[in-house]
Amino acid sequence: MDFTKLADLAGGHAGARAIQVALRLGLFEALAHRPLEADALARAIGCDARAIALLANAMAALGLLAKNAGALSLTPASRRFLLAASPEYLGGMILFDEAIFPLWTRLEDAIRTGRPVRAPDMFQSRREETARFIRAMDSLVQARGDALWAAQNLDLSGIRTIADLGGGPGTYLLEFLRRYPALKGALLDLPATLEVAREILNERDPAIAARIELVEYDYRNRELPAGFDAIFLSNVIHSEDEPTNRALLQRCYRGLVRGGMVLIKDHIMNAELTEPAAGAVFSLYLLLTTAGRDYSFEEVARWLREAGFGAIDCQALPSPPFSSSVVTARKN
């Protein structure tokens, strides 16, 4: 690694924070319909002209604005990912990162104590926090394309009922049911999450939303409803410790029909827990906010075998843009 790479890594927070603030101020939305010079842009969003000029220059340097003879305009990337009307809007995730940005200043505390620096409540305590978190998960999956990839590449033929366990906004379930018209789905999650999920599902596709049953469920302390042909878990196990995940997969086994399938989408790490790099870094975020981390295929496969599953397999999603994998297993 050379100096430039290391310096970029060490100073990455500056660019991230600048993007968060630009989005929060409405800078990109103000340029959605026409280019503006910095003074006009500042007036449009109610900010200091000199400061907006500096922020806009930074956005241009990062490739999120174009600047020509003083006129500022959106680039294809900012129009695609940073306008709220875009189906690939990433802003929900960026604004969630902004909300938790202060937690990173307490990383040393978490490293010293081994404990999260906020209550690991999955953002259930306050309505606005729940909405921000769940819409962030939807925003990320929509922008990157995870759900569409999963629906196109995971074979659910012959599956009649699928449970999206801890499914958050239901983004994956919508795509599964869109691809398989005879499929019935259940979204199992905590009550505050389901309130937000109901809004998102009805906003996006009311007809398919009508085929989804919303079920209040806490996998930490309740048996899973029985009779599902498949159970899908996306980014669930990384929020929990090893004993909780072991018990969760045992509940999944009991909740499936014989021959039923469990599908686990997550950062699935190598044996050294260093690759994919995104998963290794993300484990620090998990340290700040949960009792979990990202786990290796060997760890996940062991829990599945202990629960009674067989035919265990792992498929990596194409990188880029993805950094996760899907582990599948069958109930014997």
Which tokens belong to 275?
Answer: 């690759």
> pLDDT band for position 108 (50/70/90)?
very high
The SS3 call for residue 89 is: coil
> pLDDT band for position 8 (50/70/90)?
very high
Q: Are residues 164 and 76 in the same domain?
A: no
> pLDDT band for position 36 (50/70/90)?
very high
- Domain contains 99: no
- DSSP letter assigned to residue 271: T
Q: Are residues 153 and 280 in the same domain?
A: yes
Q: Are residues 73 and 109 in the same domain?
A: no
How many angstroms separate the Cα of 202 from the Cα of each of 8, 151, 195, 197, 205?
42, 20, 11, 8, 6
What does the mean pLDDT of the chain come to? 97
Q: What is the pLDDT of residue 96?
A: 97
- Domain contains 44: yes
Q: Are residues 125 and 267 in the same domain?
A: yes
Q: Are residues 181 and 35 in the same domain?
A: no
> pLDDT band for position 230 (50/70/90)?
very high
Sign of CA dihedral 67, 71, 76, 82: positive
| Separation CA 58–CA 18 (nearest Å) | 8
Q: Are residues 231 and 170 in the same domain?
A: yes
- Domain contains 198: yes
Q: What is the pLDDT of residue 199?
A: 96
Q: What is the pLDDT of residue 293?
A: 98
Q: Are residues 146 and 260 in the same domain?
A: yes
Say what the alpha-carbon torsion angle 240, 243, 248, 253 is, to the nearest 10 degrees.
150
Q: Are residues 270 and 125 in the same domain?
A: yes
- Domain contains 208: yes
Q: What is the pLDDT of residue 260?
A: 98
Q: What is the pLDDT of residue 159?
A: 96
- Domain contains 123: yes
Which residue, 85, 114, 131, sits at the end of a domain?
A: 85
> pLDDT band for position 16 (50/70/90)?
very high
CATH of the domain at 42: 1.10.10.10
Q: Are residues 154 and 58 in the same domain?
A: no
> pLDDT band for position 42 (50/70/90)?
very high
Q: Are residues 117 and 250 in the same domain?
A: yes
- Domain contains 100: no
Q: Are residues 206 and 62 in the same domain?
A: no
> pLDDT band for position 328 (50/70/90)?
very high
Enter the pTM of the model.
0.95
**What number is the average pLDDT over the span 72-80?**
98
Q: What is the pLDDT of residue 65?
A: 98
Q: What is the pLDDT of residue 54?
A: 98
* b/e code 237-247 from CB counts within 10 Å (16+ = b): bbbbeeeebbb
Total tally of structural domains belonging to the chain: 2
User: In this predicted model, what pLDDT tens digit does every residue of 117-168 receive, in sequence order?
Assistant: 999 998 998 999 999 999 999 999 999 999 999 999 999 999 999 999 999 9
CATH of the domain at 301: 3.40.50.150
**What number is the average pLDDT over the span 206-214?**
95
Q: Are residues 161 and 252 in the same domain?
A: yes
Q: What is the pLDDT of residue 51?
A: 98
**What number is the average pLDDT over the span 243-253?**
98
> pLDDT band for position 236 (50/70/90)?
very high
> pLDDT band for position 240 (50/70/90)?
very high
User: In this predicted model, what pLDDT tens digit does every residue of 274-325 receive, in sequence order?
Assistant: 999 999 999 999 999 999 999 999 999 999 999 999 999 999 999 999 999 9
Residue 25 belongs to what domain range? 3-85
Which residue, 54, 85, 116, sits at the end of a domain?
A: 85
Which residue, 26, 51, 85, sits at the end of a domain?
A: 85
- Domain contains 92: no
Q: Is there a contact between 253 and 222 (Cβ–Cβ < 8 Å)?
A: no
How many angstroms separate the Cα of 98 from the Cα of each of 94, 206, 278?
6, 31, 19
- DSSP letter assigned to residue 318: P
How many angstroms separate the Cα of 64 from the Cα of each of 50, 52, 61, 80?
19, 14, 8, 10
CA nearest 123: which of 110, 132, 115, 114?
A: 132
- Domain contains 11: yes
Which run of H or of E encompasses 282?
helix 277-289
